[in-house]
Amino acid sequence: MNLLIVGAGGVGSAIATIVASRGFVDRLTVADIDQVRAQTAVDRLGGDRAQSMGVDASDRGQLAALIESTGADFVLNACDPRFNPPIFETCLATGRNYLDMALTLSRPHPDRPHEQPGIKLGDEQFDVSSDWEAKGLLALVGMGADPGLSDVFARYAADHLFTTIDEVAVRDGADLVIEGYAFAPTFSIWTTIEECLNPPLIWERERGFYTTPPFSEPEVFEFPQGIGPIECVNVEHEEVVLVPRHIDCNRVTFKFGLGSEFIEVLSVLHKVGLDGTEPVAVKGVAVAPRDVVAAALPDPARLGDRMSGRTCVGTYVTGTGLEGKPRFTYLYHCLDNAESMGRWGHQAVVFQTALNPVVALELIAEGTWTGAGVLGPEAMDAVPFLDRLNDYGFPWAIEERTVTG
């Protein structure tokens, strides 16, 4: 595989580190609008394993020229999802396979945003799936930790643990602490604001897709490995769109353990308009309020030395088990920040996100995962992926529960 990674932030840099430790990529290019940042990611690898390039991911002409000059046959989009359209569309136009970790952005319903979806996450990608299929190209979308690994868990449960599924409920939480900061998100604040302040999406077999207000329907979920009970709330997320496409179930939800302080900060940002993406004039300079917030906060990729605790991504599946009895199963992956920093030099949330697309790329490179068109991880066989995750030294786990919740 000749791989081009577009985006050299925390996740893109971590992906490059993991890829360099495996043998399936013959040529690796890391590109970013800031070539110094891309070169820093390459320098971490040592030797002549990769090259860095500069590119504006919003410029389709630059992207096409970069793809042609590197000869890449696979492009991994490690940018914020606002850059999905130009990267995704350029890959189709130039005949390259594509992978991202978040779908194209949604747009709320103009009149009833907390009842009905407008344009859903990924609609713009799935609408052109036939074009990718006609060219024999694969666009594997939503292949991170969540979405991504969470969808793989749902696929595994459907194929190997349940005869019928009532609900696929993705539940994510952490007990991470960041020393020295009153407020410091562990992931891109741009993406965090987008998914947390948009109307959350729910899917039900009889009702279809519908939305609720942000941070709605709080529930306390017990997370494993000592993390403990955390209040989780509805958040807009890709699994609700992806899972029903290939998995037979009655309901799909996503809830995240944000914490009351985090919710309060995001709510204030929204109230004063600092979550906005349209530029405003500030002393003669046009700037998006959300970009100001991002610039004022610490870079999540640089917080690893100050972080402690664990992050957990998991899928809680309820329904009827293979023996015909009710089953309540949580499939999950926990990662301790001390382990990810000690072994790889990347903080836990970033590394957990980066690990899964690399596993997927390796399965594609060897021909274990195949397909054409726009597909999510739930369309693929889960067993090779989960086996390979174990081989990487980051095992997943199953916890059976006796009651729902």
Q: In whole angstroms, what is the distance from residue 238 CA to residue 31 CA?
A: 26
Could you tell me the residue range of the domain that residue 61 belongs to? 2-100
Q: Which residues pair with 302 in a beta bridge?
A: none
Q: Are residues 255 and 335 in the same domain?
A: yes
- Inter-residue contact 235 to 255 (CB < 8 Å): yes
Same domain, 174 and 82: no
Domain assignment present for residue 110? The answer is no
With H, G, I as helix, E, B as strand and everything else as coil, classify residue 219: strand
Q: What is the pLDDT of residues 1-21, one digit of tens each?
A: 999 999 999 999 999 999 999
Partners of 164 in the β-ladder: 320
pTM over 0.85: yes
Q: How confident is the model at residue 67 (pLDDT cuts 50, 70, 90)?
A: very high
Residue 378 within a domain: no
Q: Is there a domain that residue 350 lies in?
A: no
- Specify if 253 maps to a domain: yes
pLDDT of the residue at 253? 98
pLDDT band at 404 (very low <50, low <70, confident <90, very high): low
Note the pLDDT of residue 405.
Answer: 47
Q: 113-135: buried (b, 16+ CB within 10 Å) or exposed (e) per residue?
A: beeebbebbbbbbbebeeebbee
Average pLDDT, the chain: 94
- The percentage of residues in the chain with a pLDDT greater than 70, rounded to a whole number, is 99
CATH code, 41 = 3.40.50.720
Closest CA to 254 of 232, 234, 284: 234
Question: Which residues on neighbouring strands pair with residue 315, listed in sequence order?
Answer: 170, 331
Q: How confident is the model at residue 296 (pLDDT cuts 50, 70, 90)?
A: confident
Q: How confident is the model at residue 182 (pLDDT cuts 50, 70, 90)?
A: confident
Q: Which of 109, 147, 145 is nearest to 125 (CA)?
A: 147
196: domain CATH number is 3.30.360.10
Q: Is residue 385 part of a domain?
A: no
Residue 342: exposure state from Cβ atoms within 10 A (0-12, 13-18, ≥19): exposed
Among 222-226, 273-277, 328-332, 394-398, the least confident range: 273-277
What's the full length of the chain, in residues? 405
* 229: its two tokens: 């009970």
* Residue bearing tokens 């319903």: 109
Single out the residue in 85, 100, 115 at which a domain terminates: 100
Q: Does residue 134 lie in a domain region?
A: no
